[in-house]
Amino acid sequence: MTAEKKIFSAAGEKEVTRAIVGEFAREFMEYVDSDVVIVGGGPSGLMAGRELCRANKRVLLIERNNYLGGGFWIGGYLMNKITVRTPADKEMDELGIPHSEISPGLHVADGPHACSKMIASACDAGLKIVNMTSFDDVVLRSDGSSEGSRVAGVVINWTPIEALPREISCVDPIAVESKLVIDATGHDACVVRKLEERGVMSTPGFGAMWVERSEDLIVEHTGEAYPGLIVCGMAVSTTFGVPRMGPTFGAMLLSGKRAAEVALEKLG
Ligand code: 48F
């Protein structure tokens, strides 16, 4: 009797499991010591990661959700249209995102198309991503000099750990070391807030909505907020008290790019 001809290769359950566990572990081992760790996979974090990887840096992005993109999938009020103001339309062109100019200097695109192009571009550049992983704390180092401490990595844990009942949630986190950390966690500004909790910096929180002022200020204030820690995207507004901006995303793209430039200057 001739063997039954099958469409797919003979790999079975154990091979599939080994492929997943082995490849995840191999990659994770490599990125336990990264040039840059980015916390948050929204538009600003993805843009920063893309730019750093294009400059051949080793970058790990930590995202607490099982998906990437943050607020970039959907515009305002649960509608799938996002807006971008000139000059950020050039970034959309570079990412291959179709858009149209609705009024002078105001461009509209489909959120899902924009977001998926952004994610693909960051992955193509070489960005490594771990999902379902939450930032828990910073690694702080001090060499004993008058310069004080600097952020030297992040403490992380699986996101589902947060859902465990308190009395049994004693699951120790692990840490990843890096030369720089970028806080791209949006309005939450989780990394900055952790430093605030530790009493080493204080933040005013974000201001009321004012689109025309906010976008410029976000880009201008993008940079090092504490030694070793760069902030980008809406985390900038929480850190420096800049007005919020609503569903227009040009500043997120330019802020991510600026964060990468600052990081590259610091990394030399
Ligand atoms: O909120 P988010 O999209 O931040 P962003 O890049 O862009 C902001 C805009 O989407 C929009 C806006 C401007 O138009 O107002 O809000 O600044 O993405 C932040 C990402 O960080 C993740 C979160 O799940 C989201 O994907 N995040 C937040 N806290 C943590 C985290 C955490 N503790 N650990 C890991 N990821």
Checking if the pLDDT of 128 tops 90, the result is yes
Using only C-alpha atoms, the chain has a radius of gyration, in whole angstroms, of 20
Element (H, E) at 267: helix 250-267
**Do 59 and 38 contact (CB within 8 A), yes or no?**
yes
Q: Ligand 1 centre and the CA of 55: distance in Å?
A: 24
Does 188 score more than 70 pLDDT? yes
Rounded Cα gap, residues 251 and 217, in angstroms: 9
How close is the Cα of 66 to the center of ligand 1, in Å? 13
The tokens of 258 are what? 């600026």
- Distance (angstroms) between ligand 1 centre and the Cα of 6 equals 45
User: Domains along the chain?
Assistant: 40-267 (3.50.50.60)
Task: Give the residue, by CA position, lying nearest to ligand 1 atom 33.
Answer: 135
pLDDT in tens, 92-113: 999 999 999 999 999 999 999 9
50-91 pLDDT tens trace = 999 999 999 999 999 999 999 999 998 999 999 999 999 999
Q: Which two tokens stand for residue 103?
A: 């009024």
Of 119, 197, 252, 254, which is best to mutate to test ligand 1, by the most ligand atoms within 8 angstroms of its C-beta? 252
pLDDT tens string 167-182:
666 889 999 999 999 9
Residues lining ligand 1, Cβ inside 6 A: 39-45, 62-65, 70-72, 134-135, 184-186, 188, 190, 233-235, 245, 247-249, 252
Contact 79/175 with Cβ under 8 angstroms?
no
pTM: predicted TM-score of the whole model, two decimal places: 0.96
| Buried/exposed code over 28-43 (b: 16+ C-beta within 10 A; e: otherwise) | eeebeebbbbbbbbbb
Distance between Cα 46 and ligand 1 center (Å): 10
Distance in Å, CA 188 to ligand 1 centroid: 8
